[in-house]
Amino acid sequence: MGSPKRHNVDHERGRRPLGAGLKTALCAAVVWTGVFAAPVVTPLAPAAQAAIPAAMPASVRVALFIDTGRYSSPASAVTLSADTAALALGLRDASGFKPLHQVNAKEAVRAYANGYYALLPQSADAAVARAQAQKLAVGGAGTGIVQRSKQGKPAYAAYIGPFPTKEAAAAAAKADATAQVAGPLGWNAGVYATEPEAQAQADAIVQAGFDADVALIGGGFAVMVGGAADDASLKTLKDKVSAALPAARLTAVDQTAGYVLKRSELSVSGDGAVQPVTAFVVGGGAKLWAAPVDPKAGVQVAERSNRSYRGGIEVTTLNGKLAVINELAIDQYLYSVVGSELNSSWPAEALKAQAIAARTYALKQGDKYQIANVSDSTADQVYKGREAEFAAAIQAVDATKGQVLTYKNTLIDPLFYSNAGGMTADSSEVWGNPVPYLKSVPSPDEGAQAGKKPWYRIVLPSGLTGYIHSDYARDTGTKNEIGLPYYESTTDAVNIRSAPFVDNAANPAIAKVDAGSRFVVIGQMMESNAFAWVRGPFDEGRLREKLGASLPASAAGGITRLEVTKRGPSGRALEVSVNGQAVKASYPDALRSLLGGLPSTRFEIEQSERYTIRGAGSAVREQSASDAPLYFAGGSGTPQAYEQEQFFVLSADGNVKPVSKTTQFVFKGTGFGHGLGMSQWGAKGYAELGYDYVKILQAYYSGVTVTTLP
């Protein structure tokens, strides 16, 4: 194990920070007996072709970086390379593909959208330009260095950007008094049939002291002279070029026409390292297409964790910002989606069910992102490129080729998620309105707990309560006065956490214990997992911060009671109230985010200061430590008020509950995700019970048909 580090001992076994051991009476597993027939799917009927696609689309477009306004995954530039073959780049339009450049395998190129820049004065020293670029880089904007040769000498110009507006670039330029605002406006100094001809003209203009680049346009290769940020500076530029080069014939550049500039740059990485690259600047809505010359190779995108993608990468603009789209065959896309969503050890039938749900989802989206069908994130379905693929996922996709889910001759919304917690949601519990094929049904989800170990709930000598992983604690064989066992830490610097899972951001360590440190164990829970979970405790201040404007007026004097006041068919919370008044939620599933990102809405709420006293006969009284004092009788028999902040209540069955005068709230629940449609862990459970993929899908989507598209 090596020398323990004081901040991460409970990370050493690679545990995922998901949820912990709460079973539910609502969980039910359906067991089938007898012989299972081969899956039966229904071919597409001619009458249905108006409602669903007549044929499977050849490709899908996945947004890696895009900003639509409603969805934002931004990037200022991307660095592309091919992993095992040469990478070809060029302009793609309605007339086809026009080649512009080709690089060897693993050789990187840089691409970004033309726009406005904060530009520093040119320098003959690359090190000076690098220092300038690093100084200017603020707020996460992209930084680069354009590399030219002017009058026989090197010239380096550091910039930050691009920005979609002149104003944004001007704000960035304030970081350096010598910075100026440059822009995408320029002049066309001629169109040539070949790139060498255009490059010769560009070189002549550069030698005269102006910035010029070769651009690939629809009609050939143009020479663009530019860098102006507004009409006035554009006119000034023309006057200067005409004075220096009277033979130059300058015409206005149509800013709506697509073009791709090609230039040499020095790329500055986060650690300050500089690498020469060929850069491509996309303007006027052009589409720069990059694809390996060998279709078996992949395109790597450094800004996406250097993932490799099948198909090709399109670099273009949307809403004035960079858009990067991976276009590839739909089944190749699904190879990665299934591999990204599920595990290679899962049963084949569960993988097939996921493949069909994912295929249907992709088709159902249409042009969701204007120039792309889906994103690569959990906003749609996770897609991590070729690295996520595995053989069983590919086989599952190929085995279900063309198959989609339909309801009354219409593609369904095949929602899926990690774990239903034993019972899927009814659509009314998530969206507030009914969907006929999204009903609440049992789901065998307990498999998410397999292999998890318990965490002990402990009380330290200071009185602090928390959880420690069972791997780092052992029973001393001794007990305290009321029979609770003493345990001790088995190693140094073990983290104690508020809840039984590891997440240094959401559930940081609240204390540490060293080898031999003793504590009392008052209970145990299974390590957090996707089936069952614990979140909290949250005090009133933290809860107010989470709920924000959603808090009702009843909270003005303090949050004294938080409870679920309405539940749906699956037991999910439809309404949560504060002091008897409902929290403002736009739809039921929004409660998850309002309460700080709970895994699901299938939860119970425990309050630390509340406990129940059972008296003689059937008398029951709810007590609050913050409202009424607790009295005890000492040796004299005289009742005395217990003044400590915290005490412990021991029930008749031996369970111990910490009670605090400070109000705190703990959420205990089951399930991970919205709960609508197919539970991925449940699909695994059904497959292990012997279900084929059609029956798995029909168990989660009521009344649907598996339809085959040609």
- 591 phi/psi in degrees, rounded to 5: -60, -30
The SS3 call for residue 148 is strand
- 100 phi/psi in degrees, rounded to 5: -125, -35
Comparing CA positions, the residue from 213, 247, 207 lying closest to residue 227 is: 213
Alpha-carbon distance 661 to 647, whole Å? 9
Model pLDDT, residue 410: 94
Query: Does residue 57 contact residue 363 with C-beta atoms inside 8 Å?
Result: yes
pTM: 0.84
In this structure, how many other beta carbons lie within 10 angstroms of the beta carbon of residue 556?
9
- pLDDT-derived band of residue 34, with 50, 70 and 90 as boundaries? very low
Region 594-619: mean pLDDT is 77
Region 38-60: mean pLDDT is 63
CB proximity list for 690: less than 8 A, separation 6 or greater: 32, 36
Q: Which residue has the tokens 């009277």?
A: 246
Q: Which amino acid is at 155?
A: A
Alpha-carbon distance 656 to 524, whole Å? 11
> How far, rounded to the nearest angstrom, does the alpha carbon of residue 314 sit from its chain's CA centroid?
22
What's the whole-number average pLDDT of the chain? 86
- Backbone φ/ψ region at 675: left (φ over 0), alpha (ψ -120 to 50), beta: left
Model pLDDT, residue 253: 85
Region 497-506: mean pLDDT is 94
Helices (H), 502-567: 540-547
- pLDDT-derived band of residue 132, with 50, 70 and 90 as boundaries? confident
- 44 phi/psi in degrees, rounded to 5: -65, 125
pLDDT at 19 over 50: no
Percent above pLDDT 70 for the chain: 84
- pLDDT-derived band of residue 153, with 50, 70 and 90 as boundaries? confident
Region 346-361: mean pLDDT is 98
Alpha-carbon distance 593 to 693, whole Å? 32
CB proximity list for 443: less than 8 A, separation 6 or greater: 27, 420, 421, 422, 423, 424, 679, 681, 682, 685, 700
Model pLDDT, residue 254: 81
Angle between helices 348-364 and 680-689 (to 10 degrees): 140
Alpha-carbon distance 159 to 156, whole Å? 10
Q: Tell whether omega for the bond before 39 is within 30 degrees of 0, i.e. cis.
A: no
More confident: 127 or 703: 703
- pLDDT-derived band of residue 10, with 50, 70 and 90 as boundaries? very low
- pLDDT-derived band of residue 29, with 50, 70 and 90 as boundaries? very low
In this structure, how many other beta carbons lie within 10 angstroms of the beta carbon of residue 151?
9
Region 101-127: mean pLDDT is 92
Mean pLDDT check: name the lowest of 385-399, 440-454, 632-646: 632-646
Comparing CA positions, the residue from 202, 197, 221 lying closest to residue 213 is: 202
Residues paired with 497 in a beta bridge: 467, 509
Two structure tokens written together for 317 = 């603009």
Two structure tokens written together for 630 = 């607790």
- pLDDT-derived band of residue 37, with 50, 70 and 90 as boundaries? very low
CB proximity list for 343: less than 8 A, separation 6 or greater: none
Distances (CA, A) of 608 to 528, 580, 591, 658: 21, 18, 21, 7
Percent above pLDDT 90 for the chain: 68
Comparing CA positions, the residue from 650, 685, 692 lying closest to residue 28 is: 685
Two structure tokens written together for 43 = 């071919």
CB proximity list for 547: less than 8 A, separation 6 or greater: 555, 578, 583, 594, 595
Angle between helices 693-700 and 680-689 (to 10 degrees): 130
Q: What is the dihedral of CA 267, 268, 270, 272, to 10 degrees?
A: 140
Two structure tokens written together for 438 = 């999204």
CB proximity list for 500: less than 8 A, separation 6 or greater: 20, 21, 454, 455, 457, 467, 469, 525, 526, 527, 528, 534
163-211 pLDDT, tens digit each: 889 999 999 888 888 889 999 999 999 999 999 999 999 999 998 889 9
57-85 pLDDT, tens digit each: 999 999 999 999 999 999 999 999 999 99
CA angle 407, 384, 266 (to 5 degrees): 140
Model pLDDT, residue 433: 84
Model pLDDT, residue 115: 92
Q: What are the counts of helices (DSSP H) followed by strands (DSSP E) for the chain?
A: 12, 46
Alpha-carbon distance 335 to 401, whole Å? 11
- 456 phi/psi in degrees, rounded to 5: -90, 135
Model pLDDT, residue 32: 30
461-490 pLDDT, tens digit each: 998 999 999 999 999 999 998 889 999 999
Query: Does residue 119 contact residue 78 with C-beta atoms inside 8 Å?
Result: no
State the DSSP code for 224. Answer: E
Alpha-carbon distance 282 to 257, whole Å? 11
State the DSSP code for 258. Answer: -
Residues paired with 404 in a beta bridge: 707
- 354 phi/psi in degrees, rounded to 5: -65, -40
In this structure, how many other beta carbons lie within 10 angstroms of the beta carbon of residue 166?
17
Alpha-carbon distance 666 to 262, whole Å? 58
- pLDDT-derived band of residue 616, with 50, 70 and 90 as boundaries? low
Model pLDDT, residue 631: 59
Distances (CA, A) of 401 to 74, 331, 396, 454, 707: 33, 8, 9, 42, 11
Model pLDDT, residue 411: 96
270-299 pLDDT, tens digit each: 566 677 899 999 998 899 999 999 999 999
Alpha-carbon distance 388 to 410, whole Å? 31
- pLDDT-derived band of residue 144, with 50, 70 and 90 as boundaries? confident
pLDDT at 17 over 50: no
Query: Does residue 215 contact residue 259 with C-beta atoms inside 8 Å?
Result: yes
Alpha-carbon distance 678 to 139, whole Å? 41
- pLDDT-derived band of residue 8, with 50, 70 and 90 as boundaries? very low
Two structure tokens written together for 480 = 């305290």
Model pLDDT, residue 615: 56
Two structure tokens written together for 370 = 């204007």
CA angle 585, 586, 589 (to 5 degrees): 75
CA angle 309, 313, 316 (to 5 degrees): 150
- 238 phi/psi in degrees, rounded to 5: -65, -40
